[in-house]
Amino acid sequence: MNWGGPEFVLALIALSTGGWVINNWIRARHGYALEDEWGGKTAKADHEAVAKLREENAMLRQQLDATHRRLANVEAIVTDRGFEVAGQIEALRGKPASIGQGDRP
């Protein structure tokens, strides 16, 4: 075997990677913290905290859906032709329209 050749280097890399994978597999099987590729530890997931986060996520999604529905209603009102007509009527009365007229004279 050529100790300075690419085969030796590749064998060392494969052996190191295999040892790391086996080490993490054993640690995961027995409930220990796992090592990441930089030598740090990844703690085991806290199931209670994960459940709370999922509950909070579901609540926030419901609030977001409600907000989307309300925004769709507001957009329907603002883009409605009747809303524009109401602004034109107010303009004819001599009052400046504050909503819906934009840059119109």
Tens digits of per-residue pLDDT, 10-66?
Answer: 999 999 999 988 988 888 888 777 766 666 676 666 778 888 999 999 999 999 999
The pLDDT score that the predictor gives to residue 56 is 96
**N- to C-terminal Cα separation, the chain:** 88
Q: Which residue range forms the structural domain that includes residue 11?
A: 1-44
Q: Residue 11 to residues 3, 25, 76, 88: CA-CA distances in angstroms? A: 11, 21, 66, 81
Residues 37 and 57 both lie in one domain: no
Same domain as 58, residue 21: no
Structure tokens of 91?
């303009």
Q: How many domains does the chain have?
A: 2
In this structure, the answer to whether residues 70 and 35 fall within a common structural domain is: no
pTM of the model: 0.40
Closest CA to 104 of 80, 74, 72, 90: 90
